[in-house]
Structure 1
């Protein structure tokens, strides 16, 4: 059975976001926050810009957040709530996929 290894800035960045978080907390990037901030069912706790991984692109403005809560939705609100759409795309590096065998 083939096994795969992922390499690149995106993988490193995801790992640093995870290791820079706290136990049982969801660490949210500035780009994810921008997509979800208009949805009132999500509550965020702001963190310092220094809490971002060192290799986070400087051209992407903002800070990271902890996702605090997701309020329950009633059925009428669920129908009227627009789906989140991706407004911007950021190239934060290249990811390489290499097949390995053990």
Structure 2
């Protein structure tokens, strides 16, 4: 899970921090989200270290209220993220779920 703040002050030349103007962080965050999506593909047979099973990006803007951008999408993506994690855990460690009526494979 990652929180991206579109209103976060950024460091400029000379070590000065200032809030972003308009949507200037959009391209930076878009590249970050693409890179994160590329890492979020840890599934058999691709078990490489450094990969993760999934990601959930919460986007906020501290320059406005409410802070959370696209709340309905954020909730849906969060539920999908948690479902994916539990699904992968069920697949890898089925014995953890035996007391919930699941039969061993």
Q: If the length of structure 1 is used for normalisation, what is the TM-score?
A: 0.22
Q: Which structure would you say has the larger RCO, counting Cα contacts within 8 Å and 6 or more residues apart?
A: 1
Q: Going by fraction, where is strand more abundant, 1 or 2? A: 1
Q: Going by fraction, where is helix more abundant, 1 or 2? A: 2
